Chains A and B, each alone.
Chain A
Amino acid sequence: MLVLRPLDKLPGLNTATLLLVGTDDALLQQRADSRLKMDCASELRVHLARSLPLPSNVNRPLVDLLVFVINLHSKYSLQSVEKSLYHVDASFFLGKACFLAAGAGRESHCSVHRNTIMRLAHTYRSPVLFCDLEVEGFRATMAQRLVRMLQICAGHMPSVSA
């Protein structure tokens, strides 16, 4: 069982690494693609994982920002994220982790209530972002926000820290 720790590796020069954790493959892929389309001074890398713990045999860079993606249409997605949370070191939650809830736009399809996510985020003292990933405009805005957060977490923004 490998617990994810924020500072167990040396940061790469001018690189920022984002780890997206969630069960919905299509969702993760979309997020990753939109993220990388953003122009950014630092070099961006995105890792996608279904759940934690991550396989231990891979040489992996330091994770700067950890985003848990929950699909509000799927209880399975929430359960998987809750289980993954056990494998994260507590210091991640000092600003290096956040929750992303997708699919809030289609109320009738939601089987997870928004309040559940908000309570979860509150318990872990991390921000939660709601996004409807089906609209291109929203996706782009969300990507921009996350890239900004990533840069701060990686220490690439002068005089701002996570």
Chain B
Amino acid sequence: MDETIAEFIRRTILKIPMSEMMTVLEAWNFLSESQLQTLNLRQRKDSLAQSVVLLCEEKCASLSDAALLDIVCEDLDLFDIEQFKSSFKKILQRALRNVTVSFRDAEENAVWIRIAWGTQYTKPNQYKPTYVVYYSHTPYAFTSSSRLKSNIPLLGQALTVASKHHQIVKMDLRSRYLDSLKAIVFKQYNQNFEIHNPTAPLQERSVGLDINTDSRIIHENAVEKDKVQRITQETFGDYPQPRLEFAQYKFWKAAMLTTTPQTPTQSLQFHNRFLETKFKSDLNGGILADREEPLRCLIKFSSPHLLEALKSLAPAGIADAPLSPLLTCIPSRGMNYFKIRDK
């Protein structure tokens, strides 16, 4: 066996934590049972590494075998689900004596966690649990909204530490549909599911007339209609949109008061690119007079299926195409709660 291979194997063994040594060697499946039994796991790691290298020499390990050992280490290094669960539970139990934590393994490396919160002195409230879904091979976890807001930082901390990350960031994306959140976050929404017939030839679509329309009805603006259809398709694609119920925009604007001596009213124009909003107040000013704090404005769009509704605005003739990028960027930016400072 080559010197370099021996050195490579020795260094790989040194990287493996002792607690996982046997698991890795067994998973590697190169050394025989009898050989593994001869290893003394209580010795120091250097000596163990030496013993393993000697055993590999007996079996004439090749470069591909050494490479396989490396892969096995990487695989186990990534994630150990049982370790995550026990670590998570321990962190919560250490902080709050009374807490019920349950786990369920689901498909696609998803761990469902249910947490019923209590305090140092009260039993956990089983009727107001928080649910978390953690996808172990991704840095994302989805949580249900909790009415017991004081526990959120603790939950974040537990997730971060148990999953061996450094910090946790809350995304401004909320919906009642987990599948839609997943589609947006894992960037899987732009796949065309073969529900409708995708092979409709382009020529048919560009005419813009229904086949069963009476021939006595003539559409004059067919060209414009096509343009709108094309722009809508470019913005939203052909695929079904992920399902969101809200989009919320918070605006701040420093007050700019304009007064003209002749007119008795003071009017404040809060004009942003998104929606034209004007505030006017009477002679004595009201809330607009002598204002030092910036004005805050909240705009909320709600719909059973917001993105599909936005997609149908231009074709239905309710809005001009293209729509404002603040509306169309929702899936690509993964946000539906925005805070905008208008300069």
Contacts and interface: CB of A to CB of B under 8 A. Distances in A.
Interface of A: 19, 22-26, 29, 32-33, 36, 43-51, 54-55, 58, 60, 74, 76-77
Interface in B215-254: 216-221, 223-225
Contacts of A22: 317
Contact of A36 (B216, B315, B317): B216
Contacts of A50: 220-221, 224-225, 317
Q: Which of A22, A48, A51 has the most CB of B within 10 A?
A: A48
Interface string B299-310: 000000000000
A76 to B, nearest CB: 6
B319 interface: yes
Contacts of B318: 23-24, 74, 76-77
B218 A46 contact: yes
Contacts of B315: 25
B216 A23 contact: no
Interface residues of B, number: 16
B214 A33 contact: yes
B316 interface: yes
Given A50-B224, A50-B225, A32 B217 contact: yes
Contacts of B223: 55
Contact of B320 (A33, A45, A46, A76): A76
A23 B270 CA distance: 28
A14 B11 CA distance: 96
A33 B213 CA distance: 9
A24 B216 contact: no
A51 B317 CA distance: 11
Q: Which of A19, A25, A77 has the most CB of B within 10 A?
A: A25
Interface in B181-217: 214, 216-217
Contacts of A48: 217-221
